[in-house]
């Protein structure tokens, strides 16, 4: 089991009002799955994704990622897990402006084990070429289309060869053709054994996943 969640609860404190975001969520995601988490805004799906991504900690419950009890780890250890086990893909791409595609993809390698700059370039270039961006290595995000930017972001997520990719509305800013392309790419990566967990509110996009988790009011339904 790659991901095992047991009775995860999370409450946000907002101006004297407690907003429960997750109320005792338990679920398992096996290695090699392609899961879409669906639900309305406020259903807790983003909170769940943040917890899965080790960006946040649950108030109670346990979270096992790849056999490791991550809710007990310190912030440096969590950073290392984010670096090596998880690749993030965002709705707004989050590429560094005025920085080339190649440099954007290299970014996670600076925070991992030390490697030579030649190897860093090599790995980033190989991935970008594989994702069809051979002619765009030196382009800045501003010079790329939305679909191309998301490909660069996916290359960045893959550069440390993580077992898990977490995607938050990856097609939210894309036209339908580019969206289909990105989903096809996800399916291809999934076939190669990478586990993908994706948050979306579009049923058309959720269709591409193998399994759909529906959320409502902080619970899985």
Residue 76 interacts with other proteins (CB under 8 A): yes or no? yes
CB of 114 to other proteins, least distance (A): 7
With CA atoms as reference, report the closest residue to 65 among 87, 46, 47, 86.
86
Q: Which of 35-43, 79-87, 125-133, 169-177 is the region at the interface with other proteins (rule: CB under 8 A)?
A: 79-87
C-alpha pair distances (Å), 72 with each of 20, 25, 59, 110:
21, 18, 11, 25
CB of 108 to other proteins, least distance (A): 4
212 C-beta neighbours (distance < 10 Å), count: 14
Residue 9 interacts with other proteins (CB under 8 A): yes or no? no
Helices H / strands E in the chain, number of each: 7, 10
Binding mask 27-66 for other proteins (x = CB under 8 A): -----------------------x--x-xx----------
Residue 98 interacts with other proteins (CB under 8 A): yes or no? yes
65: enclosing H helix or E strand: strand 60-65
Would you call 41 exposed, middle or buried from its count of C-beta atoms within 10 A (0-12, 13-18, 19+)? exposed
User: With respect to other proteins, which residue has the nearer C-beta, 20 or 90?
Assistant: 90
Residues that bind other proteins (CB under 8 A): 50, 53, 55-56, 75-76, 79-80, 82-84, 88, 90, 94, 96, 98, 107-108, 110-112, 114, 156, 160
């Amino acid at each position: 089991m790659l991901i095992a969640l047991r009775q995860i609860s999370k409450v946000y404190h907002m101006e004297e009002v407690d907003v429960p975001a997750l109320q005792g969520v338990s679920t398992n995601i096996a290695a090699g799955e392609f899961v879409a988490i669906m639900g309305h805004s406020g259903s807790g799906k983003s909170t769940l994704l943040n917890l899965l991504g080790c960006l946040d900690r649950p108030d109670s419950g346990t979270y096992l990622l790849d056999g490791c009890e991550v809710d007990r780890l310190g912030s440096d250890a969590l950073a290392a897990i984010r670096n090596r086990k998880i690749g993030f893909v965002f709705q707004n791409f989050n590429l560094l402006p005025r920085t080339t595609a190649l440099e954007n993809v290299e970014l996670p390698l600076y925070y991992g084990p030390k490697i030579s700059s030649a190897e860093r370039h090599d790995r980033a270039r190989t991935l970008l070429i594989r994702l069809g961006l051979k002619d765009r290595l030196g382009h800045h995000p501003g010079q790329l289309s939305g679909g191309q930017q998301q490909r660069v972001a996916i290359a960045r997520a893959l550069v440390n060869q993580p077992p898990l990719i977490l995607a938050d509305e990856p097609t939210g800013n894309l036209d339908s053709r580019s969206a289909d392309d990105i989903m096809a790419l996800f399916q291809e990566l999934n076939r190669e054994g990478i586990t993908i967990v994706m948050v979306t509110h579009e049923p058309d996009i959720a269709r591409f996943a193998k399994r759909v988790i529906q959320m409502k009011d902080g619970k899985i339904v």
